[in-house]
A and B are shown apart, each in its own frame.
Chain A
Amino acid sequence: MKKRVAIIGIGITPFKARYLDRTYFELAYDATKLALGDANKNGAEITHKDLQSTVYGIYNELFERQFMPDIYINSYIGMNDKPGTRIAAGGATGGYTVRMAYAEVASGLSDLCLCLGVEKCNDCYDEQTGVTTPEVLNAIAYSADMTYEYPMGMMAASSYVSMVNAHFEEFGNPTEEQMALVSVKNHGNAMKNPKAQSPMDITVEDVMNSRIICYPFKLLDCCLYSEASAALILASEEKVKELKVENPIWITGVGAANTDCFIGNREDMGRLYSNIYAAKVAYKMAGLDYQNIKAQIDLAELHDAFSGQEVISYEELGFVPFGEGGKWIESGGPLMNGELPCCPSGGLIGCGHAVGATGIMSTGEAALQLRGEAGKHQVNINKGRAISHSIGGPGAAYAAVIVMENEEVQK
């Protein structure tokens, strides 16, 4: 029988452009230690020796300059002679890692599992321009189909913008100004998050005037790549009781889907179908209603790699009908004091995108919100329920949605 699974420890390092003083395995250690400390603060009294397994979220070997980077982390964090499994699912790596760590505990394979994401991209370096970003983008672009897409200059932004442009052609939404509102919101929310890489007090005009990256995405519509790690400690219900943990956050729904990575094969090119399938599966498992989800949760930590994609996610995750995501942000719906705060942490645009760590950070952030421990960017918790969302890969092919509840709802 499936076991109930709770998040009992949360550890997130600051998201930074570069850690010159940490390697990827040292960063992984930092988040693990933070998560253990957090679990112990809540009464667990455990060390890394009590953790029975690890699920690693690491997107890109080329960032880490190391194939099978997980085994080097496994050694460094003192998890030898226990099972460790690596997940890689593009930008959705974090969400997929939470899903597999959930499965590890729900299945009974482990009662205490470490869910650990890390990425260190900015060791990549482009000698011709003397900066990191073009080489980081190249390391990512190798995820495009190497025969049919990479040789045409396909990269992350051009892949996502294609879907956003197709969505605009179909619905007249999101407009450039509506996308800019997402950037203003998420950079602004990050001002209250001390772990965020890109806190900024900006206007729609600032976004509109920032330089063009990939028509119509501008610099401030795009997240920055980050270095960071994030860890969650997941426990079975028996373990939660045995350890007498206070404040467990229960994972009540997990959904994921891989849609066709070739955008041109899709029925409608302006859809991130993976979003729709992942959300419906997760909500159903949690006993929630896709049509009425907005009224059932307190906040959503969304995957806003690009501003326009967050607007489409409002629609595909069921917050508003198709074509109305742009109007919803214009009306203030996803703002901190709005109908359903989206990305109170600042999301990827505000915090940065440390790919393998990102979805674990956003899940951890949502869990901290449900505990009432998010800090200055805490939102009101009335329903005791939140979601985190991860999406990524070529054509945003992978998506994962996690539903969480605090102890009060569970009672």
Chain B
Amino acid sequence: MEFEAHEIRDKIQINYKYSMGGQSKFFIELMKNKKILGTKCKKCGKVWMPPRVNCSDCYEDTDWLELKQTGTIQVSTIVWYTTSAFIQAIPYGIAFIRLDGAETAFNQGIFSENLVPSKVKKGQRVRAVFQKERQGKMTDFFFVPEEEYERWIIKPEYEGGE
């Protein structure tokens, strides 16, 4: 007997009101004051970005520390095929950026007027651009090549930082 498959449509969906816990200050400062805060271990002095309120190396507390909004691309890629949540946004750039004065790099969106590998490669100097409407999330800001900064911050939906 021939096999006949039966398929059903279904979805799993959960809503959250997620607390950012000890990291809350980072997101509040980002949203209200366009500041990018890292943390510095009270004992070893390591600067964490993304911030951690505890140093994972020393098991000591950290202090908040305002970071520069300029930095350097450590590594990047341009995405041309992706998840259902982002497929409408292709192509988009992702980079690991080390802010000036920080020791760790973090993942952030990289925008450019000319999004090609040579524009977003290692060593490229970048600067943070902020959304005018901020929600206290990582998507409140992104990076652009330093030489494009002035042209990005005059767009109606964006603004410059401090």
| A and B associate | yes
What is the interface of chain A, defined by CB distance below 8 A to chain B? Answer: 20-21, 62, 65, 125-126, 128-129, 134-135, 137-138, 140-141, 147-149, 151-155, 157-158, 161-163, 165-166, 169, 211-216, 219, 262-265, 269-270
Tell me if A129 and B137 are in contact (CB < 8 A): no
Interface contact B107-A149, CB-CB below 8 Å: yes
Interface size on B, residues (CB 8 A): 40
- Choose one: B10, B50, B82; the contact of A155 (CB below 8 Å): B82
A115 CB to closest chain B CB, in angstroms? 28
Q: Which B residues are closer than 8 A to A by beta carbons?
A: 3, 5, 7, 9-10, 12, 20, 23, 50, 74-89, 92, 94, 96, 98, 104-109, 117, 122, 137-139
B81 and A214 contacting across the interface, CB-CB below 8 Å: yes
Cα A154 to Cα B96 in complex, Å, equals: 11
Q: Is the CB of A148 within 8 A of B84?
A: no
Shortest Cβ gap from A295 to chain B (Å): 34
Query: Do the beta carbons of A214 and B74 come within 8 Å of each other?
Result: no
Residue from the list B50, B87, B107 in contact with A134, Cβ < 8 A: B87
A264 partner, pick from B3, B83, B106, B139, beta carbons under 8 A: B106
Q: How far is the CB of A290 from chain B (nearest CB, A)?
A: 26
By the criterion CB–CB under 8 Å, are A129 and B96 in contact? Answer: no
Please state if A154 and B84 are interface contacts (CB–CB under 8 Å).
no
8 additional contacts, CB 8 Å, given A138-B84, A213-B80, A264-B104? A65-B12, A153-B83, A153-B86, A162-B75, A212-B81, A214-B80, A262-B106, A265-B104
Partner of A148, one of B7, B12, B107: B107
B79 and A153 contact, CB distance less than 8 A: yes
Closest 9 CB pairs of A and B: A264-B105, A20-B5, A138-B83, A134-B84, A137-B83, A153-B86, A166-B75, A126-B84, A215-B78
Known: A151-B137, A162-B96, A264-B107. A211 touches B80 (CB 8 A): yes
Structural contact, A264 and B89, CB atoms closer than 8 A: no
- CB proximity of A375 to chain B, nearest CB, Å: 27
Docked pose: A165 CA to B121 CA in angstroms: 10
Q: What's the minimum C-beta distance from A223 to chain B, rounded to whole angstroms?
A: 14
Asked whether B94 lies within 8 Å of A62 as measured between CB atoms, the reply is no
Q: Is the CB of B89 within 8 A of A153?
A: yes
Which residue, of A21, A125, A162, A264, has the highest number of chain B Cβ atoms within 10 A? A264
B138 CB → nearest A CB, Å? 5
Chain A positions within 8 Å of B74 at CB level:
166, 264, 269
Residues of A within 8 A of B80 (CB): 211-215
Complex formed: what's the CA distance from A158 to B5 in Å?
35
B85: contacting residue among A138, A149, A214, A216, CB under 8 A: A138
Given A152-B109, A162-B75, A264-B105: A141 touches B94 (CB 8 Å cut-off):
no
Task: Kindly provide the distance from the CB of A168 to the nearest chain B CB, expressed in whole angstroms.
Answer: 9
B94 & A269 in contact (Cβ 8 Å cutoff) = no
- Which residue of B has the minimal Cβ distance to A129? B87
Contact between A147 and B138, CB atoms less than 8 A apart: yes
Which single residue of chain B is at the shortest CB-CB distance from A67?
A: B12
Are A151 and B122 in contact, with the CB atoms below 8 A? no
Q: Which of A125, A161, A215 has the most CB of B within 10 A?
A: A215
In the complex the two chains form, is B75's CB within 8 Å of A165's CB?
A: yes
CA distance in complex: A257, B104 (Å): 21
Contact of B12 among A62, A134, A153 (CB under 8 A): A62
Given contacts A137-B84, A152-B94, A264-B104, contact A215 B77 (CB under 8 A): yes
